[in-house]
Amino acid sequence: MPERLYTLKEACLLLGLHPRTIQKWDKQGKIRIVRTPGGRRRIPESEIRRLQGEKGIRSIIGYARVSSNTQKDDLERQVKYLQEYGVHEVITDIGSGLNENRKGFLKLLDKILHNEVDKVVILYEDRLTRFGFDTLKRVFEEHGTSIEVINQTDAKPPQQELLEDLITIISHFSGKLYGIRSHKQKEVVERAKNLFTQT
């Protein structure tokens, strides 16, 4: 299997370098560069790994999330955007941003707590979590992980996703109040669903 070749933009993201630095190193012979037939620079994966080892760089991971299976097109859009941005590994989730037990989120958190991640790249803050973003950011930073939000000014999230999050909150607290399997709890959640469906 041929070795993967990274574009200059991808290499800069992985190595935390400015394009001019790589161009300068190329001229000085400090980095192994492969040229495309069109003359563009490509950096072999083995060279990326060598430089990461010298710089002590850890991985850069993208994270994408949607609320439900009906939004898979949006999930694919997020993943594609992150990949085009130069992120090599993208962890995904389908579930509410209020759910702390998301499989992908827990995988990402585990990597961070084991000091394996240099940077997490997301499109919007609420993809990572609905609430407590600043707290999560502080925890990440304690483990040497930064968060890069590509699009700070997102359009308002889809109404359906907000409604699903609201139902999740009502379900959680009514479960605490009446018992998670009680008839009363189910009735409260069902009434909330009917109310929000009518609005």
Active site residues: 67
From the list 70, 78, 65, 94, the residue with the least C-alpha distance to 160 is: 70
The residue ranges of DSSP E strands in the chain, in sequence order, are 5-6, 34-35, 41-44, 59-66, 89-94, 117-122, 146-149
Look up residue 179 and give its DSSP letter. -
The pairing of beta strand 89-94 with beta strand 117-122: unpaired
What residue has token string 């009735």?
A: 187
Amino acid, single-letter form, for residue 79: V
Beta bridge partners of 92: 64
What is the Cα–Cα distance from 23 to 40, expressed in whole angstroms? 11
One DSSP character per residue, 64-109 reads: EEESSGGGHHHHHHHHHHHHHHT-SEEEEEES-TT-TT-HHHHHHH
